[in-house]
Structure 1
Amino acid sequence: MVLLAGTTGTAGAAAGSPEAGKDDRRPSGTRLYTPPANPDAYDQIRELVRAGKHKDALAVARMVRTPQSVWFNGRGDDSLIRGEVREVVRDAARKRALPVLTLYNVPGRDCSQYSAGGAADTAEYQAWIDEVAKGIGKKKALVILEPDSLALLPSDCGQDDEEGTLTAARYAEVGYAVDTLTALPGTTVYLDAGHSGWHSVNSIVPRLIEAGVEKTRGFYLNASNYRSDEELARYGELVSGCLEYAAGGGDPADCPNQWWDQEDAQAWLDENVTPDPADQPHFVTDTSRNGQGPWTPDTDQYPDPQEWCNPPDRGLGKRPTTATGDPLNDAHLWIKIPGESDGECLRGTEGPEDPARGMIDPPAGQWFPQQVLELVRNAEPPLRP
C-alpha cells in the first residue's frame, strides 16, 4: 500500500497526477468554491430585513456566502447528472476555486431512514457514477464519497441476509466509485469514516481498507454531525495511524482507539507507526455545525435522544480552509449545508413534534429557519461583524 503526500497551502485546488496505486493530489492552491445558496435562504434573509432584524439577516447572508459542498443525491432525472456536475465544476474553474462534491446515491443509503433513497441497485449506481465522472472530466474536484456508506452498512441496520449480500454489494459499489473517480486527473476522493462518537478506530479501519482507501487521498470525518474539533483531530490521527499499521501487515484490532488513555495511545503510535504524514492517509473534517460541539440531552427525557438530529442550540464551526495547522488534516469543510434539516426528529416519542424543540421539524434536506438562527448566533468562531 503506497500512501499519501502532505498538504500545504491555505485553500483549495487539487494538484498533481496520481502514480499507480497512489493519490497524491492535495487540496491546496486556491480558494474553495461557494455554490448558489438554497433559495429558501434568500427568502429568510428578506423576511429578516422586513422584520428589522438586520443583524440576523447579515449573519445568514454571510453563512450562505461561505464555501460549502454541492450535494448530488440521485433525486430527479438521473440522465441530467452529467450536465449538473459539469456546470458546477466549470463554474468553479472559472472562479479558480475547488468545488467540493458530495455524492449521495448509494443503494439503501441511510438504512432507508430519514434520507432514504439512492440508486435502485448496483448497476444503476455504477451507471450514475459513470455519468458523474464524465461530468467532472479533467476539471478539479474534491469528492466526499457517500456519507454513511461505510459507517452505516446494510448489516448494521438489519437489512442484510445471512450471506451478507447487500453489505458485499455496498463495498463493490463504493469500490467501483473509487476506481472510476480516482482515474480522473484532477479529482481527489475521500471515504466515509463516520466520526469520533460512533465507530471505534478498530471497527472503521477494516471497512476503509475493504472499500479501497489505499487508492484515495484518505477519509472524511463528521459529515452532517456535531463533534468537537479536538476529538475529531485525535480520532483522525488514530485512524490514519492504524491504516498505516495495517498496511504494514498489522492487525487493526491491536490499534489504540479514541477511548484509550491519550498518553498510552500516543506511546503505541510512536512505537508502531512511523510519524511521517507523507506516508499516511489524510483526512478532511466537516466543521459546518460543530462550533458548540455535541448536544448532551437528558436521556431520561428522550427515550432515543437522536443527538445527531437537529440538536438545539448548536453553532456554525470553523470556516472552510485548507490551512488547518494539522499535517494530516487536509481541510476543514462545510460538507453538510448549514440550515438544511436533518429530518423530522421524534427522539423515541410518538411525535409528531420534536420534543426538544416543541415543533415539527422540516423533512431531511429542507430549510430550517429556526435552526439557521441558532447556528449563526452560536457560531464559534463568531461570524465576523
Structure 2
Amino acid sequence: MYGSNTGHTRRGRRAAARAGAVGVLLLLAVSGCSSSDEAPKKESAPASRQPAQQQPKARSPFWVNPDGTAAKEAARLRRSGKEGDAELLQKIASQPVAEWVGIDDPEGQTRGFTEAAVKADRDALLVLYNIPHRDCGQYSQGGASDGDAYRAWLDRAVRGIGDRPATVILEPDALPHMEDGCTPQEHHEERFALLKEAVGKLKALPRTKVYLDAGNPSWVTPVDRMAEPLRRAGIERADGFALNVSNFQTTEDSKDYGHRLSRLVGGKHFVIDTSRNGNGPLSGGDHEKAWCNPSGRALGEPPTTRTGDRQVDAYLWVKRPGESDGACKGGPDAGQWWETYALELARNSR
C-alpha cells in the first residue's frame, strides 16, 4: 500500500483474530471476578506467564489482553530461559493494543473482547477492517466480497459490541486510498456509503466511540484533500478521525496535521497511533522501505488519554507491535508475528 500499511492479511488476521477471541471467551468462562487492576486470566496459566496488569485507568482506560500474542511469546521465552528477551516483549505485552476484528464470527469476537474488557473494568479498543476492495490488492488485500456482505458482517460486529464500552478505529486506509487514486473510481460511491452507514450503526450504540481513519501526515497532502472524503464518510456523526495507523510519523507531525484537518471538519477531535513512532519515520530510500518493516524503528509513547492536547483524545497502539507489515525485508506475511522485529522495536524504545 502507499501511505500506511495496516499489516493484516485476510489469511493471517483471520487466524489470529479467531484464536484471540476464542482465548478471550475461554478466559471469561474459567475466571472469577477480577479487580479493576487485573484482567481475567486462565487459572491454569503456566507460572512463567506474568499476569496482565491493567494500566491505571485514569491514564489509559483501554484493556490489556492477557492472552495477546506478545504475552504468549514473552512467556515462551521465559520458559526457555531467555529472560532478557522476555522482558523486552513485556514492554509490548503490558500495554493495551487494538484487537483487529476478523472475517470469521465478528459477533463472537467483538462480544468476547468487550466482555473481557468490562470484566477488567476497562474499554475495548477495536479495529474494523473489512471494506470491499481493501488495500487495492496489495499486502493486506481482501475484505468483504461486496457491499451487502460488508453490511452483514458489520451488523454482526455491532451486535457483539452491544451496550459495552468500545473505541472503534474504522477501516484503516479506506479513505486515503480513494484520495490517492489507488482504489478505482468505480468503487468510491459504494465505499463512502458503506462508511457512512458504519458510522451511523456504531454511533447508535450507547457506549461506542468511532474514529474514521484519515491516513498520516506524509500521505494525502495538502491536508485539505482529506476534508471532503471525511465529510462524505460521515465525520459529522463520528467522534473524530484517526492518524498514523500502522505508520511511523512522529506524534508532533501528526498533531500538526490533525489540528489543521480538524479545523476543516468542524473541530473534530482525533487519535494518533503511537505504536511504532518512537524514532519517527525512516528517512531516505524508496517509498516501500519507509513503511514496510523499516529498520531502526522503536515503540512510541504508551497508550494514554492524557495527551495534554484537548483536540487529541488519545495516543493508541492501533498497529500491534511485532506483527509484520508484509513479506518484505525477510519478514513474514502481513499480520504475522515477527519476533526479530518485535524485539528490535522494544530494544530501541526508551
TM-score range, shorter chain: 0.7 to 0.9
What is the CA deviation profile of residues 30-82 of structure 1, one whole-angstrom value per residue up to 9, with x for unaligned ones?
721112454476346533663x54222112023112111010132xx3xx221
Identity %: 41
* Aligned pairs for 1:44-193 within 5 A: 45-47=75-77, 50=80, 53-74=82-103, 77=104, 80-153=105-178, 156-157=181-182, 159-160=183-184, 164-193=185-214
Structure 1 134/29 Cα, relative in aligned 2: closer, same or farther at 3 Å? farther
Counterpart for residue 285 of structure 2: 298
- CA drift at 1:297: 3.3
Q: Name the CA shift for 1:283/1:39 in 2 (closer, same or farther; >3 Å).
A: closer
Distance between the aligned counterparts of 1:70 and 1:36, measured in 2? Answer: 12
Rounded Cα–Cα distance in structure 1 between residues aligned with 2:289 and 2:270: 26
Q: Distance in 1 between matches of 2:96 and 2:217?
A: 24
Distance 2:83 2:238 in 1: 44
Distance 1:142 1:166, change over 3 A: same
In 1, Cα distance between the equivalents of 2:251 and 2:179?
29
Gaps of 5+ in 2: 1-56
Do the aligned residues in 2 keep the contact of 1:41 with 1:367 (CA within 8 Å)? no
The structure-2 alpha-carbon separation of the partners of 1:283 and 1:40, relative to structure 1 and needing over 3 Å to count, comes to closer
Task: Kindly report the root-mean-square deviation, in angstroms, between the aligned alpha carbons of the 2 structures.
Answer: 2.0
Report the TM-score, using the length of structure 2 for normalisation: 0.79
Is 1:111–1:154's contact at 8 Å kept on the other side of the alignment? no
1:166-315 alignment, distance < 5 Å: 166-200=187-221, 201-244=223-266, 280-299=267-286, 304-315=287-298
Determine which structure has more spread, i.e. the larger CA radius of gyration: 1
Cα distance in 2 for residues equivalent to 1:372 and 1:67:
16
Partner of 1:318: 301
Distance 1:73 1:377, change over 3 A: same
- Give the whole-Å Cα distance in 2 for the aligned partners of 1:286 and 1:241: 20
Greater displacement, 60-69 / 107-116: 60-69
| AA at the equivalent of 1:329 | V
In the alignment, what sits opposite 1:252?
none
Conservation of the 8 A alpha-carbon contact between 2:241 and 2:271? yes
Deviation of the 1:313 alpha carbon: 1.0
Deviation at 1:332, TM superposition (A): 0.4
* Shift in Å, 1:296: 1.2
Q: Which residue of 2 aligns with 1:331?
A: 314
Residue-pair matches, total: 293
Q: Is the 8 A contact 1:154 1:166 kept in 2?
A: no
The whole-number CA distance in structure 2 between the counterparts of 1:46 and 1:181 is 38
TM-score, normalised with respect to structure 1: 0.72
Distance 1:48 1:315 in 2: 22
Q: In structure 2, what is the Cα distance between the partners aligned to 1:365 and 1:292? A: 22
Aligned partner of residue 181 in structure 2, secondary structure = helix
Q: 2:336 aligns with which of 349, 362, 366?
A: 366
| C-alpha distance 224-30 of structure 1, shift in aligned 2 (>3 A) | closer
Name stretches of at least 5 consecutive residues in structure 1 with no aligned partner: 1-26, 245-279, 346-353, 355-359
Q: Contact (CA 8 Å) 1:289, 1:316: kept in 2 or not?
A: yes
Judged with a 3 Å threshold, the aligned counterparts in structure 2 of structure 1 residues 199 and 155 are, in CA distance, closer, same or farther, namely closer
